[in-house]
Amino acid sequence: MKEKDYKNYLLEDFLLDDDFRSWVHDGDKKLDYFWQKWMDSHPEKVEDVLTARQILYSMKFMPVMVEEDERGDTLQNIIQRKTSAYGSFNSGDNFVPFRKRSNKVLFSIAASIALLIIAAGSFYFMNIDPDMRETRLSDTVIQKSTVKGQKLTHTLPDGSKVILNSESQISYVDHFHGSSRMVRLTGEAFFEVVEDKSRPFTVITGNTSTQVLGTSFNVNAFPENNETKVSLLTGKVRVFANNEEDSKWEVFLEPGQKVSIDRTSGEFIQSRYDFVREMGWKENILVFDKADHESVVKELERWYGVNITTVNNPPLKWEIKGHFKDASLEEVLESLQYTNKIEFKIENKNVELKF
């Protein structure tokens, strides 16, 4: 296969690349090995590779009356098509290069391709159980997610266990094909990883990856937070930046250590941690550590699955510090009512806090 600068490819570049499409359609073992090793080295591109593979794999099973040339033309036409929402992508000979497009355009492209596949009757999603959301995409990628007020324990294909916190999601390739085990995380999860020295286990969160062989650790990567935190309970982990420009950022953690990654600067700060603060959530311990009222409201909504509105503004230095083990929402609020002088009203899933 020709040498190509795949690290700069976007989703649509993979879709239109002949060698990539040949890999998806022909299933060559040498190409399987190449792409698995390439994804190991470029975890930031895993999502684009897998998404492109799913789309092309689904198109492979379009009705037989559609010729291969037509499939390619249809794909090209979809990517180049005009859309009133975002303007013209194709204007005579002045075709706008893919790389200059906005994320909105990329989403439009992906949506259009998905609509084509649905129309062909070959792209589908399994039903989503609201108590345990699972989406199977072309028998390739599995997604598990939780909603407010919910936690989930899930066993991965290699026997490793994941405890998923509320409003969190993991995705991974079914059966962990190849020489590695990769999981993408949004939110927070605790991992108990089965040891396999021949296949490292990697958790990808935004611009950061955590790699282990066999260990237990916690990753906190809620999108609204300014930092990502990795805390190690047992074993040893390597935490590193996915961006090659930030390659200087890499740390190895020992049990009892954590690293906090600033999402703006990319800086890594290594320190010791308190178990209850970082991992108490999986033991059903709600922790506030000098939390301001915005943090308290967000955490209560996530923990108990409620919607909270506030009346009046709290005092300037209002903050909370405390632990609540197996406590109901009413018990927590009664404690805050006594120590922080707030009033509350609970009506089903709606809560009002008055300062």
* DSSP codes of every residue in 263-294: TTT--EEEEE--HHHHHGGGGTEEEEEEE-HH
Task: Give pLDDT tens digits along the chain (355 positions).
Answer: 556 888 888 887 888 888 888 877 776 667 777 777 777 777 778 777 877 776 765 554 444 334 445 445 545 554 444 333 333 333 333 333 333 344 444 444 444 444 444 433 333 333 334 344 444 444 478 889 999 999 999 999 999 999 999 999 999 987 776 677 889 999 999 999 999 988 899 999 988 899 998 899 999 999 988 999 999 999 999 999 876 555 568 899 999 999 999 988 888 999 999 999 999 999 999 999 988 889 999 999 999 999 999 998 887 788 888 899 999 999 999 988 887 778 999 999 999 998 8
Residue with tokens 């083990």: 325
For the chain, the domains span 6-120, 133-277, 284-354
Torsion angle defined by CA atoms of residues 57, 62, 68 and 69, in that order, rounded to the nearest 10 degrees = -110
Helix (H, G, I), strand (E, B) or coil at 86: coil
Give the fold, CATH level 3, of 284-354: Phage tail protein beta-alpha-beta fold (3.55.50)
**Residue 96: per-residue pLDDT:** 35
232, 258 in Cβ contact below 8 A?
Answer: yes
**Residue 341: per-residue pLDDT:** 79
**Residue 150: per-residue pLDDT:** 94
Q: Apex CA 108: angle with CA 120 and CA 227, to 5°?
A: 120
**Residue 246: per-residue pLDDT:** 56
**Residue 342: per-residue pLDDT:** 86
User: pLDDT by residue (tens digit) across 286-330?
Assistant: 999 988 889 999 999 999 999 999 998 887 788 888 899 999 999
**Residue 1: per-residue pLDDT:** 57
**Residue 244: per-residue pLDDT:** 55
- Up-side HSE of residue 287: CA atoms within 13 Å toward CB? 13
CATH architecture assigned to 133-277: Sandwich (2.60)
Q: How far apart are CA 223 and CA 220, in angstroms?
A: 9
* Phi, psi values for residue 167, rounded to 5°: 50, 45
Q: Hey, do 133-277 and 284-354 end up sharing a CATH topology, with the first three levels equal?
A: no
